[in-house]
Structure 1
Amino acid sequence: MELYTTLEIEQLQQNEDLPYLIEIMEWVKNFLGRPHPNLGRPGVVCPFVPYSLKSNSIRLAVIHTKDLCAEQLEEVVGRYRDIFLKMDVKEQDLAINRAFLLIFPDIHIEDASKLVDSVQQKLKPLFVESGLMIGEFHKRNETPGLHNPNFRPLRSPIPLLAIRFMVEADLPFLESPADPYLRIRYLEAYINCFANKFTDETKFKNAHQALALAKEQTAIFK
Structure 2
Amino acid sequence: MNATQPMVTTAAPSVVPGSLTRAADAAAAFDRYPQYQAGMRWVAEFVTQPHPDLGRSGAVCPRLEPAIRANTVWLVALTVHGTTPADAADAGRLLLDLFEEVAAGPHRSVAALLGFFPGLPSAQAAVFIDGGHGLLRPEAVERGLMLGEFHADSTVGGVHNRAFPVMQCPEPMFAIRAMTPHDLLFADQPATPSADRLSYLLAYQRHIGPRLSPAAREGLEAKVSAARQALSSGESS
Question: Structure 1 length as normaliser, TM-score?
Answer: 0.87
Does residue 82 (structure 1) correspond to residue 63 (structure 2)? The answer is no
Partner of 1:119: 132
Which among 85, 88, 101 is matched to residue 73 of structure 1? 88
SS of 1:63's equivalent in the other structure is strand
Q: CA RMSD in A?
A: 2.2
Shift of 1:135: 1.1
Higher deviation after alignment, 41-50 or 60-69? 60-69
Shift of 1:210: 2.4
Aligned pairs (5 A) from 1:85-124: 85-87=100-102, 89-91=104-106, 94-124=107-137
Post-superposition Cα deviations, 1:76-128, rounded to whole Å, max 9, x if no partner, equal 3212211212336443xx22111111112444444333221111111111111
User: In 2, are the aligned partners of 1:124 and 1:133 still within 8 Å (CA)?
Assistant: yes
Specify whether residues 58 and 108 from structure 1 end up closer, same or farther in structure 2 by C-alpha distance, changes over 3 A only: same
**Whole-angstrom CA distance in 2 between matches of 1:76 and 1:33:** 26
**Whole-angstrom CA distance in 1 between matches of 2:35 and 2:214:** 38
One-letter amino acid of the counterpart of residue 27, structure 2: E
Aligned pairs (5 A) from 1:56-205: 56-67=71-82, 69-87=84-102, 89-91=104-106, 94-176=107-189, 177-199=191-213, 201-202=215-216, 204-205=217-218
Which among 47, 63, 71 is matched to residue 48 of structure 1? 63
Aligned positions, number? 217
User: In 1, are the aligned partners of 2:85 and 2:135 still within 8 Å (CA)?
Assistant: no
Larger Rg: 2
Q: Structure 2: give runs of 5+ residues left out of the alignment.
A: 1-14
Shift of 1:214: 1.9
User: In 2, are the aligned partners of 1:109 and 1:140 still within 8 Å (CA)?
Assistant: no
SS of 1:170's equivalent in the other structure is helix
**Whole-angstrom CA distance in 1 between matches of 2:29 and 2:182:** 35
One-letter amino acid of the counterpart of residue 24, structure 2: L
One-letter amino acid of the counterpart of residue 121, structure 1: G
Does residue 208 (structure 1) correspond to residue 221 (structure 2)? The answer is yes
Specify whether residues 96 and 39 from structure 1 end up closer, same or farther in structure 2 by C-alpha distance, changes over 3 A only: same
Does residue 3 (structure 1) correspond to residue 11 (structure 2)? The answer is no
Shift of 1:141: 1.6
**Whole-angstrom CA distance in 2 between matches of 1:168 and 1:124:** 18
Higher deviation after alignment, 160-169 or 3-12? 3-12
SS of 1:36's equivalent in the other structure is coil
Shift of 1:44: 1.0
User: In 1, are the aligned partners of 2:87 and 2:128 still within 8 Å (CA)?
Assistant: no
SS of 1:60's equivalent in the other structure is strand
Q: Structure 1: give runs of 5+ residues left out of the alignment.
A: none
Question: Structure 2 length as normaliser, TM-score?
Answer: 0.82
Post-superposition Cα deviations, 1:124-180, rounded to whole Å, max 9, x if no partner, equal 111111110001111222222222233221110111111000011111211225321
User: In 1, are the aligned partners of 2:125 and 2:172 still within 8 Å (CA)?
Assistant: yes
